[in-house]
Every structure is written in C-alpha cells, then in structure tokens.
Structure 1
C-alpha cells in the first residue's frame, strides 16, 4: 500500500481573519476519512471525520445551518 499524505487546503471563501479550518479531502477516497484542523495551528491535532459525517456537515452548512 502506498502511504497517502494529507493535502491540506482552506476554502476559497476563507478570508484572512484567522477563523479558518483546513481539510484534507484527498483522504476521503483511499481512507474514507476527512481530517479537519485549525489553520492557525497546522502542527496541532486534527479531527478525523468519517466521509459520510463530513458530507452531512457540509450539507448542513450549505443549507444555512449554524
């Protein structure tokens, strides 16, 4: 198996206010997870979400959830 490294990115909607999270969506296919981390602390911990849970979160945000 070839190791897969997270390819972190911020949304293009993120401003420079320092209130951003980064995700590594490239792990969704091979590992079935989407890591999420605080962009201000890139060497800190990451929250590892199952792909379905992350998809539900994004759907809720797009629908206007808080």
Structure 2
C-alpha cells in the first residue's frame, strides 16, 4: 500500500513497474478483520508521512 501511494505504482508479478495514481484505498467490509486492517493501513501510511483526509476534501 505504501508503495502505491508514495511511489505512484506497484511491481507486477512479472516484475514490471505499473504506474498508478492512488487517491483512495478500499477495505472490503465483508472481511471479518476489515476494521483491524483499515486501522493498520492508516497507521502505516501516517507513519510514512502520508496525509489522511476526509473523502469530502478529495471529491468535489
């Protein structure tokens, strides 16, 4: 996740770099650990200096 957000892409299974523009991250709520996963993702991103903002600040 950090690579997607900070580096603007991900490494594909074949080793190729795929550029992405990541504005939002979705954690599916049907996973029993969805809340735990979301909290962990937020903690990691904040620790890496990524600013977390409400959706209303992104979507206009």
TM bucket normalised to smaller: 0.3 to 0.5
Q: Which has the higher helix share?
A: 2
Higher relative contact order (CA 8 A, sep 6+): 2
